[in-house]
Structures are given as C-alpha cells and as structure tokens.
Amino acid sequence: MKLEKLNPLTPEYLESIGFVWHTDNDNTSYVADEIVEITEDEANAYYEACNELYDMFCEAGEYVIENDLFHEINIPFNLVDLIKESWENDVHWHLYSRFDLAGGIDGKPIKLIEFNADTPTALFETAVIQWAMLKANGLDEASQFNNMFEALKDNFKRIITLDSHIEKFEEYYKDLGWKILFSSISGSSEDENTTKLLQHIASEAGFNTDFEFMDRVQFNDEGIFKEDELFEFWFKLVPWEDIGIEESELALILTDIIKEKKAIIFNPAYTLMFQSKGFMKILWDLYPNHPLLLETSFEPLENKKQVEKRCFGREGANTKIINEDGSIDVETAGEYEGHKAIYQEYVELPTDSEGNSYQAGVFFAYEACGLGFRRGEKILNNMSKFVGHIIK
C-alpha cells in the first residue's frame, strides 16, 4: 500500500471547526499525518461493494422479521415491536451508516467485517477532516471518494420525499414545516459535535432544527418534546441496544410513540438488526460463499483461524483472534461479555511497512458516499488512528 506524508492540521484549526477530540490519551495525534493513496478503480470497487451489501442487508432484514430471529441475533426483547413498526413503514428512513471492510487496497478482495448501521463514528473525520487536510496541503480536495456532506444533505430531504426525487423537497416541506430535534449524551464532546454537524447539514437541507441533550428531552404519549415544543423528528446519537437494556421504560414509551405515529426517530430501530454482529451469520446463511462475506457462525468454526466477538461489542472490546489449533493469537477485555458471541472467519487487514493494520470504513447514505481508514493493531480499538485518503 502507498502512503503520502502531509503536514497535519493544527490543533487550533481543528478546535475552531469543532473537532476537539484530536489528541489521544497518550498525547499522540488521533488524525494521522499520512494519507492512503488509492486508485479510481479501488474507489469504485468500494462503492459498488457497499451498494450491493446494503441490498443484501435489506433482504436479510426481511428474513429476520418473517422468521422471528431477533433472539438469535441478540436483540433486546423490548425493542422487537419497535423494530417491526419501523420496518413496516417507509417513513422510518435510514439516514446514514458505515461499513467496515478488509481488503480493497492490497490487491485482495473486499470483505465485510461488520456494519455500523445505528450510531457510526468517524463521521466528522471522514466528511470534513480528511477533505480539509488535502486543501491545507495544496492538493485537490475533490480527489477523494467523499461526497458525504451532499449525500447526507440529500438524504435528509428524502425523509420528506421518501424517494430519489429530492427536488420535490421544498414543495412538500413548505406545507409540513416539521422540525428535527438532535440529541446526544451530555459529557461527550465527540458525540455532541458529531450530532451538531448532522444538525448543521439538516439545516443546510432546509429543515428547522434544534439540539438538546438526551437527559433533558421529554417523552410521553403525545410525542417527543424539548421543554414545551413538540418535534416530529428526533435524531439520537444513542445506541438502540443501550435504550433497550438500560432504559426499558423509555423503550416502551418510544414503541407507543412510533405505533401512534407521534414522531419518527433516526436512525430507525430496525438498524439495530443490521448493527448486531449476529446479523453476519444470517447473511452467510442466505448468501453462502458470497465473495463479499466471511463465514460466520454462532459456534466456533472448525479448522479455521477466526475472530470471536460480541454481537454488540464496540471498539474492539471482548474480541479474540483464535488460531486454527484453538490457541489465542491476541485478545482484548471489555464490558460486553454478557452479549452473545459470534465466530467469523479471520481475514488479514492491509498493512504498511511498519506492520500497522488498515481497515476501510465506507459511509452509506442512500448510497455509498465516503471512505476513510482506521489504523492500529490486529484488533482495532479506541486508540486506533484515523487516516484519510487521496485518489491518484
């Protein structure tokens, strides 16, 4: 793989645009001062692969619902009705998500590792920071697979038009005047500023918007409120599984709100199915040996190097790489031990000359729209670095 050295953006500049999580706990920069060089063909391959994968996820989602496979993929029981309600009605629009992939830049085939469909991170980095790095270094900022800002802006309009004809947005919205409330948990500048970036994009699209921290939003039978103001749309950068497990009363209220059509929530509850790593097993059952998939099972694979991970684990926690003979190559601890395990065929990530691993992340908003990379050890964690790219 090819890397190009760049002059880094200064902390002062990053903070001026709201990107305040630029330095890790060990005082190293979170954003690498190198970018990955890819070809136009490689960018197109990522685009085509993720569009195909999303169609597969939709087919598999229907299969899960028809066959009541929620328990198999570790879905909290109190979110099942909410998932079904959101799946059945097109108004529950999937706003954005991120595919994590191996391969694609090393002459090896693209393989799906998992799908961050509910609360994907690295939005700010992918949409804004890597573009700004090219511009600051006198490079062509358009030489990226990165139209995320416009793709998200258009996809916000589709929550009104519900189809590809976004030019109808103003005509439809003028009569409705609906508002979107954006929420994140308090105390996390990354979550807050990522949410406010999405709020800014929605405002650019033409929506009336507001922001409130999660613990101050009001929920009742009439809908979702900030103080006394009712909001027809609510975006929450809070994982659905956390609501199901930790906020059972809220899960019931939100189910009633959706059933009674009092509000629409983004991302929809059905994205929790896609978010579950157990969904990879469903995909493998429906599309065995598909070139974009890795063999996945709820039981250890025989005579194969594999990865054991938890259905709703995050940031590489509670993950093991298991050798063919059953010995442990490397493993991590974490707080997700209580979640169901899956076993996924191991695939080598692309590496640089220093042995660092690179995982591609491709955002999806109606279609694949933005590429970025995470760099780290074999098991990527919250100390992994963000690495931008350029098409050459």
Q: For the chain, what is the mean pLDDT?
A: 94
Q: Which of 269, 248, 249, 247 is nearest to 258 (CA)?
A: 269
CA gap 360, 160 in Å, rounded = 31
Average pLDDT over residues 300-326: 94
Locate 292 and state its tokens: 């974009």
Q: What per-residue confidence (pLDDT) applies to 177?
A: 77
Q: How far apart are CA 210 and CA 231, in angstroms?
A: 9
Q: Give kind and range of the element (H or E) at residue 133.
A: helix 130-136
Strands 223-226 and 218-220: antiparallel
pLDDT band of 325, cuts 50, 70, 90: very high
Q: In the prediction, which pLDDT does 359 show?
A: 97
Inter-residue contact 247 to 279 (CB < 8 Å): no
Alpha carbons 80 and 114: distance in angstroms, whole number? 21
Residue 86 CB coordination number (10 Å): 25
Q: Which of 211, 255, 203 is nearest to 234 (CA)?
A: 211
**Residues 101-154: tens digit of each pLDDT:** 999 998 899 999 999 999 998 999 999 999 999 999 999 989 999 999 999 999
**What's the pLDDT band for 360 if we cut at 50, 70, 90?**
very high
Q: What local confidence, expressed as pLDDT, does residue 80 receive?
A: 97
The per-residue pLDDT for 271 is 98
Mean pLDDT calculated for residue range 8-18:
91
The mean pLDDT of 351-375, rounded to a whole number, is 96
pLDDT band of 164, cuts 50, 70, 90: confident
Check residue 175 and give its pLDDT. Answer: 67
Q: Using one digit for the tens of pLDDT, what is the confidence trace for 176-214?
A: 778 999 999 999 999 999 999 999 999 999 999 999 999
The pTM for the full model equals: 0.96
CB contact at 8 A, 128 and 197: yes
- How far apart are alpha carbons 195 and 185 in whole angstroms? 10
Q: How confident is the model at residue 238 (pLDDT cuts 50, 70, 90)?
A: very high
How far is Cα of residue 243 from the mean position of the Cα atoms in its chain?
Answer: 17
- Judged by average pLDDT, the poorest of 59-63, 313-317, 373-377 is 313-317
- Tell me the pLDDT tens digit for each residue of 67-97: 999 999 999 999 999 999 999 999 999 999 9
Segments in the chain forming alpha helices (H) = 11-16, 40-66, 80-88, 123-124, 130-136, 148-161, 169-176, 189-205, 240-246, 248-259, 271-275, 279-286
- Dump pLDDT digits (tens) for 89-100: 999 999 999 999
pLDDT at 165: 83
User: What was the pLDDT predicted at 23?
Assistant: 87
Q: What is the model's pLDDT at position 236?
A: 97
Sort 116 into a burial class: Cβ within 10 Å, 0-12 / 13-18 / 19+: buried
For residues 22-49, give the mean pLDDT.
94
pLDDT at 59 > cutoff 70: yes
Which has the closest alpha carbon to 374: 316, 318, 330?
Answer: 316
